[in-house]
Amino acid sequence: MISVEDAAKLIDTHWPNWGEVPVTIEQLSSLTTTEPIFADRPYPPVHRVMMDGIAIAWSTYERGQREFAIVGVVAAGEPRIELGGPNSCLEVMTGCPLPKGADLVIPYEEIQIDSGIARIVGEQQRNAFDNIHLQGSDCPLRAEVLPSHRVLNGPRWGIAASMGYASLNCARNPRIKLISTGKELIDPHQRPQPHQLRKSNIYALKASLRCHGYDGVDLDHLMDDRPRMIDHYQENRQKYDVLIYSGGVSKGKFDYLPDLWQGAGVTRYIQGVSQRPGKPLWFGIDHQYNTVVLGLPGNPVSSLVCLHRYVLKTPVIYAQLQEEVIFRKDLTYFVPVKLTYGEDAVIRAQPLTIKNSGEFIALAESDGFLELPKESCHFPAGTCYRFFPWRSP
């Protein structure tokens, strides 16, 4: 059986690239860009006035002049005009181009206006270009303002819009189908018999995928009927890029999936990982159609942990264990935790007691899980481990 680290490497190495798609500014999705953003002009494009007030020539101010005749008003959105004489000023609004001949802006709070004359009140150190956002000071023309391969967020979409990008090329998200398996499972709106369960895994998994930017995931269910499962696989491998199954991958009489996939020509890269929960994890690629086949162990905690550990990308975060954990198996142990954040910037992780990987109700108050390495069996309070969140921070 392979280690968690080797399993993660195999999945990363073999995970296909799904090409790129244009994403329009109306869609505003949070996909990853596959092209850089360049400035189509210097930014700011002109010397930009930063305070509502008056614009004057600094040289006049420096010579001691404190009263200026107001000769006009410039609003944002109006083209650049000329100041006129050295003893005059223009009222200028935040965002308008600095008038030609002016190089100092004094805010309204520092002047008094009377009969068309603006008088500067109160002496203070004033320098040329005070309250002026200099042309090109943020970036020059043609500068790369966002490199490629960045996840789009609010600021980045704002930059794209400003630089005139009506659409951006992004990495295409795969078309995903989640398939639950098992004769015991019924729909959430149905009333179960004692031997039945409502399907929960595909909803939990779909929600996790959605929280990490994968929308439009389709759902399906299969009873443990081998011929039907084979037909279903043949139909769906052509329509989807990723088929994620939950259940049916262990050692049971009705765990048909691993044999069935290999019979259909899927190349197997992982069958079993030295971890708890999630030991029977299965991963392969159908190279004929470039379809990923992921078999998540059916126990609800196992399927969630495997999806988050191996598929959903989150920043590397470490958290400090608040209570000793002892786990005497030669397996990596994923322990659900509740986090608290202190003013000391330490992320604290309270481990939650969980009897087995069927006890998903114990996850209700959890924020994610810690990965406790298999090289150890004693994890003292105060030690730090990698944390995987249910939601991307």
Ligand X SMILES: Nc1nc2c(c(=O)[nH]1)N[C@H]1C(S)=C(S)[C@@H](COP(=O)(O)OP(=O)(O)OC[C@H]3O[C@@H](n4cnc5c(N)ncnc54)[C@H](O)[C@@H]3O)O[C@H]1N2
Give least dist CB 355 to ligand MOO, A: 11
Q: Does residue 351 contact residue 323 with C-beta atoms inside 8 Å? A: yes
Under rule CB under 6 A, residue 252 binds ligand X: yes
* Closest to ligand X by CB, 96 or 305: 305
Binding residues with ligand MOO: total (CB under 6 A): 8
Query: CA–CA separation, 276 vs 6, rounded Å?
Result: 15
* Closest to ligand MOO by CB, 201 or 291: 201
Give least dist CB 278 to ligand MOO, A: 5
Query: CA–CA separation, 316 vs 1, rounded Å?
Result: 25
Which of 173, 180, 208, 357 forms a contact with ligand MOO (CB under 6 A)? 357
Query: CA–CA separation, 197 vs 299, rounded Å?
Result: 12
174 contact, one of Mg ion, ligand X, ligand MOO, none, CB 5-8 Å limit per kind:
none
Under rule CB under 6 A, residue 297 binds ligand MOO: yes
**Residue type (1 letter), 16:** P
Query: Could you please report the per-residue DSSP string of 288-335?
Result: TTTEEEEEE-SSHHHHHHHHHHHTS----EEEEESS-EE--SSSEEEE
Q: Which residues contact 66 (CB under 8 A, 6 or more apart)?
A: 119, 120
- Tell me the sheet residues that pair with 335: 370
Under rule CB under 6 A, residue 180 binds ligand X: yes
Query: CA–CA separation, 108 vs 265, rounded Å?
Result: 76
Rg, Å, the chain Cα set? 31
Which of 33, 88, 302, 332 forms a contact with ligand MOO (CB under 6 A)? 302
Query: CA–CA separation, 304 vs 301, rounded Å?
Result: 5
* Closest to Mg ion by CB, 147 or 252: 252
Dihedral sign computed on CA atoms, order 184, 185, 187, 189? positive
Under rule CB under 6 A, residue 277 binds ligand MOO: yes
Under rule CB under 6 A, residue 278 binds ligand MOO: yes
* Closest to ligand X by CB, 120 or 185: 185
Nearest to 248, CA basis, from 297, 196, 190: 297
**Residue type (1 letter), 122:** G
Record the tokens describing residue 49, joined without a space.
């006035």
Which of 42, 107, 136, 358 forms a contact with ligand X (CB under 6 A)? 358
Restricted to residues 265-294, the positions that interact with ligand X (CB under 6 A) are 277, 279-280
Site of interaction with Mg ion (CB under 5 A):
250, 252, 255
Range in contact with ligand MOO (rule: CB under 6 A) among 87-95, 185-193, 272-280, 372-380: 272-280
> What is the contact mask toward ligand X in residues 194 to 233, using x (rule: CB under 6 A)?
---x-xxxx-------------------------------
Give least dist CB 252 to ligand X, A: 5
97 contact, one of ligand MOO, Mg ion, ligand X, none, CB 5-8 Å limit per kind:
none
* Closest to ligand MOO by CB, 31 or 307: 307
For helices 4-14 and 300-310, give the axis angle rounded to 10 degrees: 60
Restricted to residues 294-313, the positions that interact with ligand X (CB under 6 A) are 297-300, 302
Q: Does residue 235 contact residue 220 with C-beta atoms inside 8 Å? A: no
Give least dist CB 210 to ligand X, A: 17
- Tell me the sheet residues that pair with 32: 151
Which of 276, 308, 309, 374 forms a contact with ligand MOO (CB under 6 A)? 276
Dihedral (Cα; 375, 377, 382, 386), 10-degree rounding: 50
Give contact residues for ligand X (rule: CB under 6 A): 180-182, 184-185, 197, 199-202, 246-252, 255, 277, 279-280, 297-300, 302, 357-358
Give contact residues for ligand MOO (rule: CB under 6 A): 276-279, 297, 299, 302, 357
